[in-house]
Amino acid sequence: MKPKSNQAAVGSIQCDNTTMNLLKVNDFVAKVIRERLPDILVINVCSSPGSGKTTLMQETGKRLKGKLNMAVLVGDPETERDAIRMREVGINALQIVTGGMCHIEAQMILQALDHIDLKDVDLLFIENVGNLVCPAAFDLGEDIRVTVLASTEGDDKPKKYPRMFLTSELLIVSKSDLLPYVPFSVEAVSIDAREVNPDLEVMTISSLKGDGMDEWCEWLMNKVTEKQRHLVEV
């Protein structure tokens, strides 16, 4: 798998036709994470603050109960509030406090793996720090990167923050229940996002109303099956 940091020369300096990757250490640690979690699907969930990531994780955990074993590593600059919200609905969660840093780095994930029970876990979510800029450059050893964009944020984000959409496999338009009340076009955001990344899937969801949640959970179960099948084939 090509490291996320290498796409579009993120984190690199051009010197006499020689590329020096400033994120090489992070990419090495990300590779170690993949080797350590060969049978667990790892999904890095990114977005701006307030997009509804935590609510999406809560509702996903409720719906997948009895179908998949799920755990979450939650990143925030301060507090353990989001991890507490996860545990309140029965989700195995560990908070990563970045101490003001605007993103999670691979070494933080590697350290966190020693403090969370992943026995029998099928699906590990990394809920990244709310930010559409810095997290785009850091490969966390994930199999899939998902970007969540709330209908309340405006539909112009893919062209403003292209790196995040370029390095993602799925775009979730969240808070779809508010679409009738806000100036947001799912069609427009999909067109812009696919001009940045033609392979990007797009899904529309309301975590509170439940719209699109069945499709999301089925997508997750299929991705877990694909990874487990690949492991058997290898």
| CB contact burial 141-162 (16+ within 10 A = b; e otherwise) | bbbbbbbbbbbbbebebbeebb
Q: Give a yes or no: residue 218 inside a domain.
A: yes
Q: pLDDT digits over 93-144, tens only?
A: 999 988 877 889 999 999 999 999 999 999 999 999 989 999 999 999 999 9
Q: With pLDDT > 90 as the criterion, what percentage of the chain qualifies?
A: 78
- The pTM (predicted TM-score) of the whole model is 0.89
| Number of CB atoms found within 10 A of residue 97's CB | 15
3-class state of residue 44 by DSSP: strand
Q: pLDDT digits over 172-211, tens only?
A: 999 999 999 999 999 999 999 999 999 999 999 999 999 9
CATH for 134? 3.40.50.300
Q: Give a yes or no: residue 56 inside a domain.
A: yes
Q: Give a yes or no: residue 10 inside a domain.
A: no
Angstrom distance (rounded) from CA 128 to CA 77 = 10
Task: Give the pLDDT confidence score for residue 13 in this predicted structure.
Answer: 43
Q: Give a yes or no: residue 156 inside a domain.
A: yes
Q: Residue ranges of the alpha helices (H) in the chain? A: 24-36, 53-64, 81-88, 106-112, 157-160, 162-166, 186-196, 213-233
Angstrom distance (rounded) from CA 58 to CA 52 = 10
Angstrom distance (rounded) from CA 46 to CA 30 = 17
Containing domain of residue 123, as a range? 38-223
Angstrom distance (rounded) from CA 95 to CA 24 = 26
Angstrom distance (rounded) from CA 56 to CA 58 = 5
Q: pLDDT digits over 7-66, tens only?
A: 553 444 444 444 446 678 899 999 999 999 999 999 999 999 999 999 999 999 999 999
Q: Give a yes or no: residue 21 inside a domain.
A: no
Query: What total of structural domains would you count in the chain?
Result: 1
Angstrom distance (rounded) from CA 117 to CA 49 = 27
